[in-house]
Amino acid sequence: MTIGDKTVRNVGTGVGQEVSDKLIKLCIDKGINLFDTADAYDGGNSEVVLGKSLKDYRSQVLIATKVRGRTGTGINERGLSRRHMMIGLRNSMERLRTDWIDIYQYHGWDFQANVEEMIQTMQFFVDQGLVIYPAFSNFTAWQMAYIQGIVKERGYAKYQSAQVNYNLMSRDVEYETIPFLKYSKMTLISWSPLHGGLLGGKYRKGEEAPPGTRLGDGGYLPVFDEGKGWAIVNEVKRIADELGVKPSQVALSWLAEKNIVILISARNIEHLKEDIDSIDIVLKREQVDRLNKISQRMSFELIYPNWIINKQNKHSTEGFNIVEAFRDNPSV
């Protein structure tokens, strides 16, 4: 995801073209066919580098990018207005060297944008063959439901996926977002599956971040509960030691069991191979249970209104049962 020569708005340091070409080649050889970026990453350079790396593979892969983030200093160079979306898509396709975008994602809700205009503009892109699949990133369940209801009523293209922060440190989406995605038959795409490298064992509580890491190079970590987070990291490390693997591989293996799309990223071949190899690591049931227990928040069934919905429908044999749908998720 983070491909480019500059820093990604203080998210961390990207990689240059030569390294990117090698990483992409390895991904292609290993059967990875979805590559995600955004117009705001590296000031657009992420798309430039990725486009060059994928030039010989365009027909084989899906390219996902996003629009909303700031792309310049002007007052209109951000958001989800028709103007910014149309300029954003044109520029993204040019940088990515492609005539279409496979998955075009709103990069977060824009409270200043006209929702009707957002929807109409996205549908215009679909009608013109410029976008294959509309999608969301960093949206709440109600925001997605609102838009999906409108597009269904009008016969517009359904939004196919939602990119969310989902990992052992960030399981909030299990309350509302995942049940909605399952009900709507949408794909969940997990960004930052290692939570900025925290689950990879790179950092220690109370110690300065080492150079060459996201945080050590001036970036930031996604928000997490520090009171609970370090205990999760330590449990991941213990299980990694038990299996003789890397902590990052344990965290990725936990996610891989859920049949979702995981966006891995790496700045060198060694780390990319480790991430890819995590698909072959099988956690023991007891280890999964330990990870679930230490990372789980309040029980889904105890959260209002879920408890009363379950109570009211306990004798029902028809319809959608919200608690049973959630239980289908292996994370519980």
Q: pLDDT tens, 208-232?
A: 767 666 665 666 678 888 889 999 9
Mean pLDDT of the chain: 89
The sign of the torsion formed by the CA atoms of 261, 262, 268, 271 equals negative
Cβ neighbours for 28, distance < 8 A, ≥ 6 positions apart: 57, 60, 61
- The whole-number pLDDT of residue 313 equals 73
Task: Give every CB contact of residue 71 below 8 A, 6+ residues apart in sequence.
Answer: 39, 40, 43, 44, 77, 78, 84, 88, 91
Buried b (16+ CB within 10 A) or exposed e, 125-147: bbeeebbbbbbbbbbbbebbeeb
Position 126 scores a pLDDT of 98
Q: Are 191 and 1 in contact (CB under 8 A)?
A: yes
Q: 233-241, long-range: CB within 8 Å, 24+ apart, which pairs?
A: 233/198, 233/199, 233/201, 233/203, 235/290, 235/291, 235/294, 236/168, 236/199, 236/201, 236/291, 237/201, 239/283, 239/287, 239/290, 239/291, 240/201
- Terminal-to-terminal C-alpha distance of the chain: 29
Percent of the chain with pLDDT over 70: 86
CA distance 313 to 321: 7
Alpha-helical segments (H) within 111-193:
115-127, 141-154, 177-184
pLDDT in the model for residue 20 = 95
Q: Which residue is it, tokens 């299996």?
A: 243
CA angle, 199 then 234 then 288, to 5°: 75
Residue 71 tokens read as 């792309």
CATH number of 17-327: 3.20.20.100
pLDDT value of position 15? 84
Q: Alpha-carbon distance 67 to 102, whole Å? A: 14
**Partners of residue 34 on adjacent β-strands:** 62
Could you tell me the residue ranges of all domains in the chain?
17-327
d(CA 67, CA 145): 20
- Per-residue pLDDT of 229-242, as tens digits, reads 999 999 999 999 99
Residue-level pLDDT at 298: 76
Task: Calculate the CA 153 to chain-centre distance.
Answer: 28
Helices (H), 216-313: 226-243, 247-256, 269-277, 285-295, 306-312
pLDDT digit string (tens) for 97-150? 999 999 999 999 999 999 999 999 999 999 999 999 999 999 999 999 999 999
Point out the residues of the chain with pLDDT beneath 70: 1-14, 206, 209, 211-220, 315-332
Judge whether 98 and 62 are in contact, CB under 8 Å. Answer: no
